[in-house]
Amino acid sequence: MKVLESIFKPYIIKKDYDGGITRSEISHSDWKGTVWKLSSNENILGPSPLAQRAIIDNISNLHEYGFRDDHSLKEAICNTVTYLRPENIVTANSGIEVLELITRAFIQPGSECIISSPTFIAYKNMIENEGGITIDIPLNQKDYTIDIEGILAGINDKTRIIFLTNPNNPTGTYTNKESIDHLMDSLPDDIVVVYDEVYYHFVDAIDFPRAIDYIEKGKTIIGIHSFSKAYGLAGIRLGYGISNPEISAYLNNIKRPFMINTLSMVAGIHALKDVDHLNKTLTLIKSEKQWLYKKFQTLGIKYWPSHTNFIFFEPKIDLDLFINKMLHQGIMIRPCQKFGAPNGARVTIGTREANTAFIHALETIY
Protein backbone atom coordinates (compact mmCIF):
# COMPACT_ATOMS: atom_id res chain seq x y z
CA MET A 1 0.00 0.00 0.00
CA LYS A 2 1.35 3.40 -1.05
CA VAL A 3 0.39 5.11 2.25
CA LEU A 4 2.26 2.57 4.30
CA GLU A 5 5.30 2.71 2.03
CA SER A 6 5.48 6.43 2.70
CA ILE A 7 5.74 5.90 6.46
CA PHE A 8 8.10 2.92 6.34
CA LYS A 9 11.78 3.78 6.66
CA PRO A 10 13.18 2.97 3.19
CA TYR A 11 16.28 1.27 4.57
CA ILE A 12 14.36 -1.24 6.72
CA ILE A 13 14.01 -4.09 4.25
CA LYS A 14 14.35 -7.86 4.46
CA LYS A 15 18.04 -8.62 4.82
CA ASP A 16 20.18 -11.70 4.40
CA TYR A 17 20.78 -12.80 7.96
CA ASP A 18 18.30 -15.39 9.30
CA GLY A 19 20.61 -17.23 11.70
CA GLY A 20 21.37 -20.92 11.31
CA ILE A 21 18.54 -23.41 10.92
CA THR A 22 17.16 -25.18 13.99
CA ARG A 23 16.49 -28.90 14.48
CA SER A 24 12.76 -28.48 13.92
CA GLU A 25 13.38 -27.18 10.40
CA ILE A 26 14.96 -30.38 9.11
CA SER A 27 11.99 -32.67 9.62
CA HIS A 28 11.88 -33.24 5.84
CA SER A 29 15.10 -35.28 6.03
CA ASP A 30 14.50 -39.02 5.75
CA TRP A 31 17.27 -39.71 8.29
CA LYS A 32 16.00 -41.83 11.17
CA GLY A 33 19.13 -41.90 13.39
CA THR A 34 20.61 -39.28 15.71
CA VAL A 35 20.73 -35.78 14.26
CA TRP A 36 23.98 -33.97 15.17
CA LYS A 37 23.56 -30.22 15.19
CA LEU A 38 27.01 -28.96 14.26
CA SER A 39 25.85 -25.84 12.45
CA SER A 40 25.70 -23.00 14.99
CA ASN A 41 28.86 -23.17 17.15
CA GLU A 42 26.90 -24.20 20.23
CA ASN A 43 28.37 -26.10 23.18
CA ILE A 44 27.89 -29.83 22.54
CA LEU A 45 28.15 -30.54 26.29
CA GLY A 46 24.94 -28.60 26.84
CA PRO A 47 24.16 -25.83 29.32
CA SER A 48 26.15 -25.52 32.53
CA PRO A 49 24.54 -27.78 35.19
CA LEU A 50 24.73 -24.93 37.71
CA ALA A 51 22.82 -22.68 35.32
CA GLN A 52 20.18 -25.38 34.78
CA ARG A 53 19.69 -25.74 38.54
CA ALA A 54 19.34 -21.97 38.93
CA ILE A 55 16.69 -21.85 36.20
CA ILE A 56 14.66 -24.61 37.85
CA ASP A 57 14.97 -22.92 41.25
CA ASN A 58 13.62 -19.66 39.86
CA ILE A 59 10.71 -20.87 37.75
CA SER A 60 8.23 -20.33 40.55
CA ASN A 61 9.25 -16.64 40.73
CA LEU A 62 8.22 -15.84 37.18
CA HIS A 63 4.98 -14.07 38.14
CA GLU A 64 7.06 -11.21 39.53
CA TYR A 65 9.26 -8.68 37.71
CA GLY A 66 12.67 -10.01 38.55
CA PHE A 67 15.71 -7.79 38.10
CA ARG A 68 15.01 -4.09 37.49
CA ASP A 69 18.61 -3.61 36.46
CA ASP A 70 21.54 -5.87 35.69
CA HIS A 71 23.63 -5.07 38.73
CA SER A 72 23.91 -8.66 40.02
CA LEU A 73 24.97 -9.97 36.63
CA LYS A 74 27.59 -7.24 36.30
CA GLU A 75 28.91 -8.16 39.75
CA ALA A 76 29.08 -11.84 38.78
CA ILE A 77 30.94 -10.95 35.57
CA CYS A 78 33.45 -8.89 37.54
CA ASN A 79 34.02 -11.74 40.00
CA THR A 80 35.02 -14.00 37.10
CA VAL A 81 36.52 -11.59 34.62
CA THR A 82 38.58 -9.81 37.24
CA TYR A 83 39.97 -7.05 35.02
CA LEU A 84 36.45 -5.60 34.62
CA ARG A 85 34.47 -3.24 36.86
CA PRO A 86 30.67 -2.91 36.68
CA GLU A 87 30.95 0.49 35.00
CA ASN A 88 32.74 -1.15 32.05
CA ILE A 89 29.80 -3.41 31.26
CA VAL A 90 26.56 -3.26 29.29
CA THR A 91 24.48 -6.45 29.33
CA ALA A 92 21.77 -7.46 26.87
CA ASN A 93 19.71 -10.35 25.60
CA SER A 94 22.56 -11.89 23.56
CA GLY A 95 25.70 -10.67 21.87
CA ILE A 96 23.57 -9.68 18.89
CA GLU A 97 21.49 -7.41 21.08
CA VAL A 98 24.65 -5.69 22.34
CA LEU A 99 25.59 -5.16 18.69
CA GLU A 100 22.14 -3.74 18.07
CA LEU A 101 22.44 -1.31 20.99
CA ILE A 102 25.72 -0.12 19.49
CA THR A 103 24.38 0.38 15.98
CA ARG A 104 21.33 2.21 17.36
CA ALA A 105 23.56 4.37 19.51
CA PHE A 106 26.15 5.42 16.94
CA ILE A 107 24.80 5.13 13.38
CA GLN A 108 23.00 7.97 11.61
CA PRO A 109 21.58 7.48 8.09
CA GLY A 110 24.56 7.72 5.75
CA SER A 111 27.17 6.63 8.33
CA GLU A 112 29.72 4.25 6.87
CA CYS A 113 30.61 1.07 8.75
CA ILE A 114 33.40 -1.30 7.83
CA ILE A 115 33.12 -5.08 7.97
CA SER A 116 35.61 -7.67 6.69
CA SER A 117 34.08 -10.58 4.81
CA PRO A 118 33.81 -13.48 5.07
CA THR A 119 32.44 -12.68 8.50
CA PHE A 120 29.41 -12.69 10.79
CA ILE A 121 26.75 -11.38 8.44
CA ALA A 122 24.42 -9.99 11.14
CA TYR A 123 26.54 -6.80 11.29
CA LYS A 124 25.37 -5.82 7.82
CA ASN A 125 21.69 -6.14 8.74
CA MET A 126 22.11 -4.06 11.85
CA ILE A 127 24.10 -1.36 10.07
CA GLU A 128 21.53 -1.10 7.31
CA ASN A 129 18.52 -1.12 9.65
CA GLU A 130 19.84 2.19 11.01
CA GLY A 131 20.34 3.63 7.52
CA GLY A 132 24.08 3.04 7.63
CA ILE A 133 26.18 1.95 4.67
CA THR A 134 28.23 -1.25 4.81
CA ILE A 135 31.74 -0.98 3.43
CA ASP A 136 33.34 -4.38 2.98
CA ILE A 137 37.12 -4.54 3.23
CA PRO A 138 37.58 -8.31 2.77
CA LEU A 139 39.99 -10.31 4.91
CA ASN A 140 43.41 -11.06 3.39
CA GLN A 141 42.66 -13.99 1.12
CA LYS A 142 45.82 -15.99 1.84
CA ASP A 143 45.28 -16.45 5.58
CA TYR A 144 41.94 -14.78 6.41
CA THR A 145 43.52 -12.18 8.67
CA ILE A 146 42.14 -8.64 8.88
CA ASP A 147 43.41 -6.33 6.12
CA ILE A 148 44.66 -3.54 8.39
CA GLU A 149 46.09 -1.34 5.62
CA GLY A 150 42.92 -1.83 3.58
CA ILE A 151 40.80 -0.64 6.52
CA LEU A 152 43.04 2.37 7.12
CA ALA A 153 42.77 3.27 3.43
CA GLY A 154 38.97 2.83 3.59
CA ILE A 155 38.17 5.26 6.41
CA ASN A 156 36.91 8.79 5.82
CA ASP A 157 34.84 11.48 7.58
CA LYS A 158 31.68 9.36 7.33
CA THR A 159 33.21 6.25 8.92
CA ARG A 160 31.48 5.59 12.25
CA ILE A 161 32.09 1.94 13.20
CA ILE A 162 34.68 -0.68 12.30
CA PHE A 163 33.65 -4.25 13.11
CA LEU A 164 36.59 -6.52 13.92
CA THR A 165 35.77 -10.17 14.53
CA ASN A 166 38.64 -11.81 16.33
CA PRO A 167 38.79 -14.77 16.11
CA ASN A 168 36.66 -14.62 13.02
CA ASN A 169 33.42 -16.42 12.21
CA PRO A 170 33.20 -18.43 9.90
CA THR A 171 36.94 -18.87 9.20
CA GLY A 172 38.12 -19.53 12.80
CA THR A 173 41.28 -17.51 12.06
CA TYR A 174 42.70 -14.70 14.20
CA THR A 175 44.62 -11.49 13.64
CA ASN A 176 47.58 -10.93 15.94
CA LYS A 177 48.25 -8.22 18.52
CA GLU A 178 50.89 -6.42 16.49
CA SER A 179 48.43 -5.88 13.62
CA ILE A 180 45.52 -4.79 15.84
CA ASP A 181 47.87 -2.50 17.82
CA HIS A 182 48.89 -0.84 14.58
CA LEU A 183 45.25 -0.33 13.57
CA MET A 184 44.19 1.01 16.97
CA ASP A 185 47.16 3.38 17.11
CA SER A 186 46.31 4.77 13.68
CA LEU A 187 42.58 5.41 14.13
CA PRO A 188 41.00 8.71 15.13
CA ASP A 189 39.12 8.63 18.46
CA ASP A 190 35.72 9.30 16.89
CA ILE A 191 35.60 5.95 15.08
CA VAL A 192 34.06 3.22 17.23
CA VAL A 193 35.79 -0.14 17.01
CA VAL A 194 33.45 -3.03 17.76
CA TYR A 195 35.76 -5.83 18.77
CA ASP A 196 33.77 -9.04 18.59
CA GLU A 197 35.62 -11.59 20.72
CA VAL A 198 32.75 -13.97 21.49
CA TYR A 199 35.04 -16.98 20.85
CA TYR A 200 37.97 -15.72 22.96
CA HIS A 201 37.79 -18.61 25.46
CA PHE A 202 38.94 -21.01 22.75
CA VAL A 203 42.08 -19.09 21.72
CA ASP A 204 45.48 -20.41 22.80
CA ALA A 205 47.72 -18.08 20.81
CA ILE A 206 49.85 -15.89 23.06
CA ASP A 207 49.80 -12.97 20.62
CA PHE A 208 46.00 -12.80 20.58
CA PRO A 209 44.82 -9.26 21.42
CA ARG A 210 41.87 -8.66 23.76
CA ALA A 211 39.45 -5.73 23.87
CA ILE A 212 40.56 -4.95 27.41
CA ASP A 213 44.11 -4.17 26.15
CA TYR A 214 42.69 -1.19 24.26
CA ILE A 215 40.02 -0.18 26.78
CA GLU A 216 42.83 0.28 29.30
CA LYS A 217 44.64 2.52 26.83
CA GLY A 218 41.54 4.74 26.49
CA LYS A 219 40.70 3.70 22.92
CA THR A 220 37.18 3.98 21.50
CA ILE A 221 36.46 0.27 21.50
CA ILE A 222 33.65 -2.03 22.64
CA GLY A 223 34.31 -5.74 23.21
CA ILE A 224 31.46 -8.17 22.51
CA HIS A 225 30.93 -11.22 24.73
CA SER A 226 28.30 -13.94 24.63
CA PHE A 227 26.94 -16.68 26.88
CA SER A 228 26.02 -18.70 23.76
CA LYS A 229 29.40 -20.30 23.08
CA ALA A 230 31.74 -21.48 25.87
CA TYR A 231 28.97 -21.20 28.51
CA GLY A 232 26.50 -23.29 26.51
CA LEU A 233 23.52 -20.94 26.89
CA ALA A 234 22.61 -20.05 23.29
CA GLY A 235 18.92 -20.60 23.98
CA ILE A 236 18.81 -18.23 26.94
CA ARG A 237 20.00 -15.25 24.82
CA LEU A 238 22.48 -13.42 27.01
CA GLY A 239 25.56 -11.36 26.25
CA TYR A 240 27.47 -8.25 27.26
CA GLY A 241 29.66 -5.52 25.94
CA ILE A 242 32.74 -4.06 27.63
CA SER A 243 34.11 -0.58 27.16
CA ASN A 244 35.29 2.51 28.98
CA PRO A 245 32.81 3.84 31.58
CA GLU A 246 31.70 6.72 29.34
CA ILE A 247 30.69 4.55 26.39
CA SER A 248 29.14 1.89 28.66
CA ALA A 249 27.03 4.53 30.45
CA TYR A 250 25.93 5.92 27.08
CA LEU A 251 24.84 2.47 25.89
CA ASN A 252 23.17 1.70 29.21
CA ASN A 253 20.95 4.77 28.61
CA ILE A 254 19.20 2.96 25.76
CA LYS A 255 18.29 -0.03 27.87
CA ARG A 256 14.84 -0.47 29.37
CA PRO A 257 14.15 -1.55 32.95
CA PHE A 258 13.75 -5.33 33.49
CA MET A 259 15.45 -5.89 30.12
CA ILE A 260 17.07 -9.18 31.10
CA ASN A 261 14.52 -11.74 32.18
CA THR A 262 14.81 -13.57 35.51
CA LEU A 263 15.83 -16.93 34.07
CA SER A 264 18.55 -15.46 31.85
CA MET A 265 19.88 -13.47 34.73
CA VAL A 266 20.24 -16.39 37.14
CA ALA A 267 21.48 -18.71 34.39
CA GLY A 268 24.23 -16.25 33.46
CA ILE A 269 25.27 -15.66 37.06
CA HIS A 270 25.55 -19.40 37.75
CA ALA A 271 27.20 -20.27 34.43
CA LEU A 272 29.97 -17.84 35.33
CA LYS A 273 30.55 -19.77 38.56
CA ASP A 274 30.65 -23.11 36.77
CA VAL A 275 34.39 -23.31 36.19
CA ASP A 276 34.19 -27.08 35.92
CA HIS A 277 31.81 -26.97 32.96
CA LEU A 278 33.88 -24.30 31.23
CA ASN A 279 37.10 -26.28 31.68
CA LYS A 280 35.50 -29.50 30.42
CA THR A 281 34.29 -27.60 27.37
CA LEU A 282 37.67 -26.08 26.58
CA THR A 283 39.52 -29.38 27.07
CA LEU A 284 37.11 -31.20 24.78
CA ILE A 285 37.35 -28.60 22.02
CA LYS A 286 41.13 -28.55 22.16
CA SER A 287 41.61 -32.30 21.83
CA GLU A 288 38.79 -32.95 19.35
CA LYS A 289 40.07 -30.17 17.11
CA GLN A 290 43.35 -32.08 16.69
CA TRP A 291 41.46 -35.32 15.98
CA LEU A 292 39.37 -33.59 13.31
CA TYR A 293 42.43 -31.99 11.69
CA LYS A 294 43.97 -35.43 11.20
CA LYS A 295 40.78 -36.77 9.64
CA PHE A 296 40.57 -33.79 7.27
CA GLN A 297 44.18 -34.41 6.27
CA THR A 298 43.54 -38.09 5.59
CA LEU A 299 40.54 -37.20 3.44
CA GLY A 300 42.52 -34.49 1.61
CA ILE A 301 40.04 -31.77 2.57
CA LYS A 302 41.29 -28.21 2.81
CA TYR A 303 40.63 -26.68 6.24
CA TRP A 304 41.87 -23.67 8.21
CA PRO A 305 43.46 -24.10 11.65
CA SER A 306 40.89 -22.77 14.08
CA HIS A 307 41.05 -20.62 17.21
CA THR A 308 37.38 -21.22 17.96
CA ASN A 309 34.99 -24.12 18.63
CA PHE A 310 34.39 -24.73 14.91
CA ILE A 311 36.40 -25.50 11.77
CA PHE A 312 36.06 -23.88 8.36
CA PHE A 313 36.73 -26.13 5.39
CA GLU A 314 36.17 -26.43 1.66
CA PRO A 315 34.07 -29.38 0.53
CA LYS A 316 35.22 -30.68 -2.82
CA ILE A 317 31.73 -30.75 -4.33
CA ASP A 318 29.01 -28.14 -4.87
CA LEU A 319 28.28 -26.57 -1.49
CA ASP A 320 24.48 -26.86 -1.44
CA LEU A 321 24.66 -30.44 -2.66
CA PHE A 322 27.23 -31.19 0.04
CA ILE A 323 25.15 -29.64 2.85
CA ASN A 324 22.13 -31.59 1.66
CA LYS A 325 23.99 -34.88 1.49
CA MET A 326 25.27 -34.34 5.03
CA LEU A 327 21.77 -33.50 6.24
CA HIS A 328 20.48 -36.73 4.80
CA GLN A 329 22.96 -38.52 7.05
CA GLY A 330 21.84 -36.60 10.13
CA ILE A 331 24.66 -34.01 10.15
CA MET A 332 23.77 -30.32 10.28
CA ILE A 333 26.62 -28.04 9.21
CA ARG A 334 26.65 -24.44 8.02
CA PRO A 335 27.09 -23.35 4.40
CA CYS A 336 29.00 -20.05 4.35
CA GLN A 337 27.93 -18.37 1.09
CA LYS A 338 26.01 -15.72 3.02
CA PHE A 339 29.08 -14.94 5.12
CA GLY A 340 30.94 -14.17 1.89
CA ALA A 341 32.66 -17.55 1.48
CA PRO A 342 31.01 -19.14 -1.59
CA ASN A 343 32.89 -22.45 -1.30
CA GLY A 344 33.19 -22.77 2.46
CA ALA A 345 31.41 -24.82 5.11
CA ARG A 346 31.67 -24.61 8.89
CA VAL A 347 31.39 -27.45 11.35
CA THR A 348 31.08 -27.08 15.12
CA ILE A 349 33.52 -29.26 17.03
CA GLY A 350 31.57 -31.91 18.93
CA THR A 351 32.12 -34.88 21.20
CA ARG A 352 34.05 -37.84 19.75
CA GLU A 353 30.71 -39.52 18.99
CA ALA A 354 29.43 -36.49 17.07
CA ASN A 355 32.73 -35.96 15.28
CA THR A 356 32.90 -39.63 14.31
CA ALA A 357 29.40 -39.38 12.82
CA PHE A 358 30.46 -36.24 10.94
CA ILE A 359 33.61 -37.88 9.54
CA HIS A 360 31.70 -41.03 8.65
CA ALA A 361 29.20 -38.93 6.68
CA LEU A 362 32.09 -37.15 4.94
CA GLU A 363 33.68 -40.47 4.01
CA THR A 364 30.52 -41.68 2.34
CA ILE A 365 30.53 -38.54 0.14
CA TYR A 366 34.25 -38.64 -0.72
Ligand X SMILES: Cc1ncc(COP(=O)(O)O)c(C=O)c1O
Residue 293 Cα to chain centre, angstroms = 23
* Angle in degrees, CA 248, 232, 253, rounded to 5: 15
Binding string, residues 138-157; x marks residues near ligand X by CB under 6 A: --------------------
Residues in a beta bridge with 347: 311
Under the criterion CB under 6 A, does residue 228 sit at the interface with ligand X?
yes
- Residue 218 CB, nearest approach to ligand X (Å): 25
Q: How far apart are CA 354 and CA 236, in angstroms?
A: 23
Pure H helices in 118-256: 122-129, 148-154, 177-186, 211-215, 245-252
- Residue 174 CB, nearest approach to ligand X (Å): 12
Under the criterion CB under 6 A, does residue 196 sit at the interface with ligand X?
yes
**Contact positions with ligand X (CB under 6 A) in 153-192:** 165, 169
Residues 6+ positions from 143 with CB-CB distance below 8 Å: 173
Strands 310-314 and 345-348: antiparallel
- Residue 10 CB, nearest approach to ligand X (Å): 27
Binding string, residues 41-70; x marks residues near ligand X by CB under 6 A: x-----------------------------
- Nearest by Cα to 358 from 340, 338, 333: 333
Cβ closest to ligand X, residue 67 vs residue 227? 227
Under the criterion CB under 6 A, does residue 231 sit at the interface with ligand X?
no
- Residue 196 CB, nearest approach to ligand X (Å): 5
Closest residue by beta carbon to ligand X? 95
Under the criterion CB under 6 A, does residue 306 sit at the interface with ligand X?
no
Q: Which of 105, 234, 254, 365 binds ligand X (CB under 6 A)?
A: 234
Residue 47 Cα to chain centre, angstroms = 17
Asked whether the beta carbons of 13 and 124 are under 8 A apart, the reply is no
Asked whether the beta carbons of 223 and 197 are under 8 A apart, the reply is yes
Q: Which of 120, 208, 214, 322 binds ligand X (CB under 6 A)?
A: 120
- Residue 238 CB, nearest approach to ligand X (Å): 7
Under the criterion CB under 6 A, does residue 239 sit at the interface with ligand X?
yes
Q: Given the rule CB under 6 A, which residues bind ligand X?
A: 41, 94-96, 120, 165, 169, 196, 198, 224, 226, 228, 234, 239
